[in-house]
């Protein structure tokens, strides 16, 4: 591994660019005709520089990133130049590409669980790249390099954990392992494609600290592909904004946030939710607040316990430990916390998809502890569920109309086909999708459109209670803003109660009337949104709020400094 350097090298005007893209064009041949994905893109990345490439889905960000490593499919036609450390990648042969990947440029993929092989231990997978470039390395040397790289990225007990498999690591740790793979090969340029999407804010803060540390210690250049403007403000030196395959604006991070030149960039920044800017509870009138406060609870948990049985001699795992909460009619209750805190377990247990194992949980007048499925089935029609990833919750063989109408076919069998079709049409209109989309299949819709369909399906039975589990975590900020506004409007018009599960505090603040904070299965704090988020009492809540990056580079730098003073430097956390 490269020796630690004391100063950043990005300020050297004579240093050649680590990456230089010149007039890159990428076209894909599809059944519907040619798709011009990248149109005349030109970018440069200096040694030790972090460049953020931002834009909505379909803007060409990921295609540009993959072209840097020659990872585009055979259906892609490229023109222009992509110079990595002086070598043009466009048209490069397979053998020369393999030599360049890893040593000159490495990629950190968006979903490490998909990028890591589940059947091999971590050291073997790290060694795969090392063996490709240094075939004479012994097993002992490979393990030593793997331990060194895992130590550099902060994996605890690396000498013992290199023999573990991917499923034995958390999401944040798997992302660290992907970065360690790049470090083990001493890559001078790292391309990170959405490296923090769907990560908790505390884990996200750790990954951003790690990327900064890698840049500062090893002089590594980094390209970050992201739609999270808070991440951009926290990490980037320079920003390139892409729209419809073109780079429409480039500037230093402070300049871009202070004075964006293009209207598209201004709209992108305006769509970012800000903590405290629009509190859902504060937006209600006094009369509306009193109505919610006096409403009957549809969900009541008292000392709720949810355990999963142990396997192979291991003890049972207690996911939820003694939680008390209530969700009133017409109220949106936001549940926040990091992965493994028990958020999804509570949501699924309320919906009858998991079993309560202790305490008491009353849902729509039915005690869930010991309740049999046959007795709960009639109640389930009164509950809607919006899943985190609609792409995996839809049957790919059904049309959009059939997906939305499926609950009607199960719970209202006497309804005619014409009545079902009419109901679907009304819901498509309610979620602002064209009626023509009913004949399409899920894969033919964008992520934001699929999430609207998921919301329509959850509302098709006119539920009294809606459970939304991370419904916007992987959406672009502009699409997320549209979906949140739609959710808010539907909740106000239809008056259903909702449990909104998320790790994004700004999103929860804009939607939820009351907020509960979960930590390791325990509800450490709950109250009205402004009380919890503006005057947190529990140390974990304070850390959660302090970890949230804000879309303002100057403010984010101040917050990062304050965070380090209160919770210690990144290397000690």
3-state SS, residue 78: strand
Say how many C-beta atoms besides its own lie within 10 A of residue 65's C-beta.
21
Domain membership of residue 302 as a residue range:
286-382+463-550
Burial class of residue 296 (count of CB atoms within 10 Å of its CB; 0-12, 13-18, 19+): exposed
215 domain-assigned = yes
Of 389, 312, 378, 320, nearest to 349 by C-alpha is 320
Angle at 416 between CA 413 and CA 421, to 5 degrees: 110
Q: Contact, 50 vs 222, CB < 8 A?
A: yes
User: Considering the domain boundaries, does residue 366 fall inside one?
Assistant: yes
- Both 378 and 476 in one domain: the answer is yes
Tens of pLDDT, residues 35-45: 888 999 999 99
Nearest 5 degrees, angle CA 104-CA 108-CA 112?
145
Element (H, E) at 545: helix 539-547
Same domain as 470, residue 447? no
- pLDDT at res. 7: 38
Q: Dihedral (C-alpha) 13, 85, 227, 516: value to the nearest 10 degrees?
A: -90
pLDDT of residue 4: 34
Q: Is 115 among the domain residues? A: yes
User: 495 and 356, same structural domain?
Assistant: yes
Cβ within 8 Å of residue 88, ≥6 positions away:
81, 82
Q: Indicate whether 497 and 362 sit together in one domain.
A: yes
Q: Which string of DSSP letters, residue by residue, matches 45-58?
A: E-TT-EEEEE--TT
> 3-class SS at 445?
coil
Q: Tell me the C-alpha distance between 126 and 466, whole Å.
A: 44
Same domain? 147 vs 246: no
Q: What is the DSSP letter of 294?
A: H
19 HSE (CA, 13 A, CB side): 32
Q: Is residue 178 located within the same domain as residue 230?
A: no
The distance of Cα 257 from the centroid of its chain, to the nearest Å, equals 22
| Same domain (yes/no): 79, 36 | yes
Does residue 79 sit in the same domain as residue 198? yes
What is the DSSP code string of 453-520?
HHHHHHHTT--SEEEEESTTTTS-HHHHHHHHHHHHHHHHHH--EEEEE-S-HHHHHHH-SEEEEEET
Write the pLDDT tens digit of every residue in 358-393: 999 999 999 999 888 888 888 888 999 998 777 778
Domain boundary among 170, 186, 202: 186
Block mean pLDDT (10 aa), the chain, length 573 = 38 70 90 82 95 88 90 88 92 82 84 84 90 88 91 86 87 82 86 80 83 90 89 93 94 95 91 83 93 95 92 82 96 89 92 93 93 85 85 87 91 87 89 85 79 89 92 76 86 93 88 94 94 91 86 85 70 50
Closest to 9 measured CA to CA, from 218, 307, 304: 218
| Pair (316, 369) in one structural domain | yes
Per the domain annotation, does 561 fall within a domain?
Answer: no
Q: Establish if 281 belongs to a structural domain.
A: no
Residue owning tokens 């602002």: 432
* Residue 462, both tokens: 């006119």
- What is the model's pLDDT at position 9? 39
Element (H, E) at 340: none
DSSP letters along 270-287, please? HTS--TTTS-TTTTS-HH
Regarding whether 473 and 372 lie in a shared domain, the answer is yes
**CA gap 567, 549 in Å, rounded:** 16
Domain boundary among 272, 295, 330: 272
CB atoms within 10 A of CB 249: 18
Residue 279 included in any domain:
no
Closest by alpha carbon to 46, among 10, 78, 8? 10
Q: Residues near 474 by Cβ (< 8 Å), separated by ≥ 6?
A: 197, 198, 388, 389, 447
The reply to whether 291 and 378 lie within a common domain is yes
CATH, residue 534: 3.40.50.300
Instruction: Give the end of a domain, one of 462, 483, 513.
Output: 462
* Any domain includes 572: no
Q: Which pLDDT belongs to residue 504?
A: 82
The label of the residue with tokens 């040694």 reads: 47
Does 360 lie in the same domain as 306?
yes
| Structural domains counted in the chain | 4
Question: How large is the C-alpha radius of gyration of the chain?
Answer: 25
Element (H, E) at 29: strand 19-30
pLDDT at 14: 54
Identify the three-state secondary structure at position 243.
strand
Assigned token pair, 389: 């990833």
Cα(218)–Cα(199) distance, integer angstroms:
25
Q: Extract the tokens encoding 426.
A: 């009304």
Helices (H), 5-60: none
């Amino acid at each position: 591994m490269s020796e630690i350097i004391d100063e950043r090298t990005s300020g050297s005007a004579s240093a050649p660019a680590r990456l230089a893209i010149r007039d890159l064009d990428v076209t894909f041949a599809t059944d519907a005709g040619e798709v011009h994905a990248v149109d005349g893109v030109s970018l440069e990345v200096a040694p030790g520089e972090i460049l953020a490439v931002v834009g909505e889905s379909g803007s060409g960000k990921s295609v540009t990133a993959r072209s840097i490593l020659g990872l585009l499919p055979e259906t892609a036609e490229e023109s222009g130049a992509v110079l990595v450390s002086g070598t043009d990648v466009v048209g490069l042969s397979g053998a020369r590409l393999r030599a360049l990947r890893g040593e000159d440029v490495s990629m950190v993929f968006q979903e490490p669980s998909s990028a890591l092989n589940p059947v091999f231990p971590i050291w073997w997978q790290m060694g795969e790249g090392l063996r490709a470039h240094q075939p004479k390395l012994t097993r002992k040397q490979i393990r030593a390099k793997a331990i060194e790289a895992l130590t550099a990225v902060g994996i605890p007990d690396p000498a013992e954990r290199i023999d573990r498999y991917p499923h034995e690591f958390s999401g944040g740790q798997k992302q660290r392992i992907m970065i360690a793979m790049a470090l083990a090969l001493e890559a001078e340029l790292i391309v990170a494609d959405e490296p923090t999407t769907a990560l908790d804010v505390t884990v996200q803060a750790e990954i951003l600290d790690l990327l900064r540390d890698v840049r500062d210690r090893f002089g590594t250049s980094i390209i970050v592909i992201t739609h999270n403007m808070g991440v951009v403000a926290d990490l980037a030196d320079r920003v390139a904004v892409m729209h419809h395959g073109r780079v429409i604006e480039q500037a230093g991070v402070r300049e871009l946030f202070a004075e964006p030149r293009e209207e598209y960039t201004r709209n992108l920044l305006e769509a970012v939710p800000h903590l405290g800017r629009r509190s859902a509870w504060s937006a209600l009138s006094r009369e509306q607040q009193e109505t919610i406060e006096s409403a009957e609870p549809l969900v009541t948990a008292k000392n709720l316990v949810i355990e999963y049985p142990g396997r192979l001699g291991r003890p049972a795992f207690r996911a939820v430990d003694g939680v008390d909460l209530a969700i009133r009619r017409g109220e949106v209750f936001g549940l926040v916390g990091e992965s493994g805190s028990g958020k999804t377990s509570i949501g699924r247990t309320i919906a009858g998809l998991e079993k309560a194992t202790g305490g008491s949980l009353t849902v729509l007048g039915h005690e869930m502890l010991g309740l049999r499925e046959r007795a709960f089935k009639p109640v389930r029609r009164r509950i809607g569920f919006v899943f985190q990833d609609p792409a995996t919750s839809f049957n790919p063989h059904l049309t959009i109309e059939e997906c939305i109408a499926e609950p009607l076919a199960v719970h209202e069998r006497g309804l005619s086909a014409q009545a079902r079709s009419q109901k679907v049409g009304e819901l498509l209109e309610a979620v602002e999708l064209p009626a023509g989309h009913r004949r399409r299949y899920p894969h033919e819709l964008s992520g934001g459109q699929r999430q609207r369909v998921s919301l329509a399906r959850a509302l098709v039975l006119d539920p009294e209670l809606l459970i939304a589990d991370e419904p916007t975590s992987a959406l672009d900020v502009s699409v997320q803003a549209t979906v949140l506004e739609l959710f808010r409007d539907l909740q106000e018009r239809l008056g259903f109660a909702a449990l909104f599960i998320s790790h994004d505090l700004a999103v929860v603040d804009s939607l939820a009337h009351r907020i509960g904070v979960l930590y390791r299965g325990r509800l450490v704090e709950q109250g009205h949104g402004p009380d919890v988020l503006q005057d947190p009492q529990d140390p974990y809540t304070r850390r959660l709020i302090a970890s949230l990056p804000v879309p303002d580079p100057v403010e984010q730098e101040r917050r990062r400094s304050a965070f380090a003073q209160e919770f210690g430097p990144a290397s000690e956390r």
